[in-house]
Structure 1
Amino acid sequence: MWLPTYDKTLEDYRLTGEPLMPRAPSVTLTRTAFAAAHVISDPLAERDPWQGRPAVDWDATLAFRRSLWDQGLGLAEAMDTAQRGMGVDWATAKELIVRTMREAKAHPMRPRVACGAGTDHVALVELTSTDAIIAAYRTQMAAIEAAGGQIILMATRALPAIKAGPEDYARVYDILIQDLKEPVVLHWLGAMFDPALTGYWGAADIETANSVVLDLINRHAPKIDGIKISLLDQAHEEAFRAKLPAGVRLYTGDDFNYAALIEGDGTHHSHALLGIFAAIAPAAAQALEALAKGDSATYHALLAPTVPLSREIFKPPTQYYKAGIAFLSWLNGTQRHFIMPAGFQSSREITHYAQVYRLADQARLLQNPDLAEGRMRTLLALHGIGG
């Protein structure tokens, strides 16, 4: 098959990878791992893809989640990988949370599910004070608690929009954490994922932001499960997690350096809350199984080939990584089509998809090579390549 390259040429490529087959782990995992799963559209029911509520294929969406649980992974639900703020509104996210929690309670592995609570059901122009932001968070937190999910306090665009200072962040988070019934996961998402979050925690420099977050965590340590950090900075994450109080986890959101961060340095290690884990689930789950067995060589042999794939999927502009996740889902037959909420499949170019195809093959993540090749040929033909 002729695939485009970044050199503006075509190269002949043949699939060579021996697929990893999804399976349940044989031992208890020693790392908590949440995969942030995407929403699968129903293109036949879509009527107003850019402005209306997305049409969701609920059967396929929930089946995808069950497949993650079957492999021993937890689920981060209704996060940014579900296109929150980029095609999926709160009403759809709330329905997703309710449906997912119903499925999770019935699943034999009793999986962990943490759900994103934000402020996105209220327009930014209406969130002009910390009181309004707190009220918006409370609405979503109450819905998640009613469904039985653990809460992830997602970073909100509203605080940077009102130019909140460190004391404003402290007030908002102090009040929200005190409200919670169960320990929460905090969420620090870098501007590379969402430019509207630039200056989060009320600080332009990283050291001041660190101080604000660590002060918050130390004040509320018994009510904090952990913090997800997505800054794509391995050294920062390693230094930060060493300062966390006992019992508070660091959930890496670093889709570039997760292998080393999860393994750890012998004293500290990160857990995982990663968008890429939904795309590389067999490799991720089986690598974590090997790590739990003390088999570092197998751990790295399984994860190392996934890192170039993840770096390609999360290349700048990083916020469009969701397209690569849905693309691999299509190649692997967990959805019948390559259509995304708000048409976000168009956010990446054909050369990117060709490279994702190559790297997924090399990471042994194309579970049905004949199906993947046929679908890749279809996409190429739509771009005038082959026939």
Structure 2
Amino acid sequence: MTESSRRPIGVAVLGMGNVGTEVVRILHENAEDLTARVGAAIELRGVAVRDITRWRGVDASLVTDDPASLVVRDDVDIVVELIGGIDLPRSLIRTALEHGKSVVTANKALLADYTGELASAAADAKVDLYFEAAVAGAIPVIRPLMQSLAGDTVTRVAGIVNGTTNFILSAMDADGDDYDTVLAEAGRLGYAEADPTADVEGYDAAAKAAILASIAFHSRVTAADVHRQGISSITVDDLESAKKLDCTVKLLSICERFVDPDGRERISARVYPALVPLSHPLAGVGGAFNAVVVEAENAGRLMFYGQGAGGAPTASAVLGDLVMAARNKVHGGRGPLESTYASLPVAPIDDALTRYYVSMRVADRPGVLSAVAGEFSSRDVSISTVRQEGAGDDARLVVVTHRARDVALSDTIEALQDLDSVLSVSSVLRLEGTDE
């Protein structure tokens, strides 16, 4: 059967924001190439929008404000969900899957909590659920984890997966401007939303960490399982201190497999701002770019880098999934199913192994260093470096630890604040990207 004689693959696009608009554009502009790659034509059957009176750049006959009717139409084979939010898209995707439609989505917030439910619905209906665009925009991360590394054991996935926070921290580091000034600039440039809470407080990165951990470790992890801390408390002084240690500060999403002291294998999933050595590949990721480093037992360290957001880059990932789903419709295949066979428990942040950078104002008198060191030692936390800056009322003590359980480190910070010789603990950051 020739490509021209095969039945076209009907596609419905839900949502015409920046990404949806780019998806429709690429479908039209690359129609001939996409047909050749799929083995059949991909035809746009409809576009669901909130307001049908607004010009959308598509044939008016294709536009509807009733997405529920669109996803069940007989001439629709694949539904592309780009609405955002949770309740409405969850309902629409479930309905589409139950009616035998494959689904492509970029909805990380939804997937972070409901991947299991949606994946089960897709498996029951024997259709595909693809979501490459849900993490890191144009950067291919999901498919390598699910397919390219399917024969390996992934031990760690860590990266910068939020462009807004990376832009802010990069600008603060380069220009010396404070957080509020750079956040305002990010808003003017379109990097930050009017309400930036999801980005700057780490919710967006935590949702993506949940997705990455679920796939990498064959276990269901939700956003609620991910320890989360944002960047709103980061100061210019923190970045200046980082430079003195040959480091910078990045908001990291870290997912790793580890064995606890009792011999149990568990998962750690966490998001927080951390010091990163300038020698580490993630330190050089600037602006609104994203990067993910994957470590596997046999493949070693792999790094994926590129544009993590934006209409066209994200649409590129959506189209990649759409082509895969369309090929499966034409040739009778199916994409990889959800894999949760390992069912590893997620450990609390207390059990994570990490390093701390601690800066504190101290009284400039004999015995201070001994008292501070004693608090670390009493909790089996080894000190890597210690440095005193200033004198008199401006005396500061900076301590960098070796790796230890997070609970021991956090307990030490609480104890330090109770010492008479410690006037205040001004900054506490974790240090990642080292082997110590």
Q: Tell me the TM-score normalized by structure 1.
A: 0.32
Larger Rg: 2
Q: Tell me the TM-score normalized by structure 2.
A: 0.29
Identify, as 1 or 2, the structure richer in strand: 2
Bigger relative CO (Cα 8 Å, ≥ 6 apart): 1
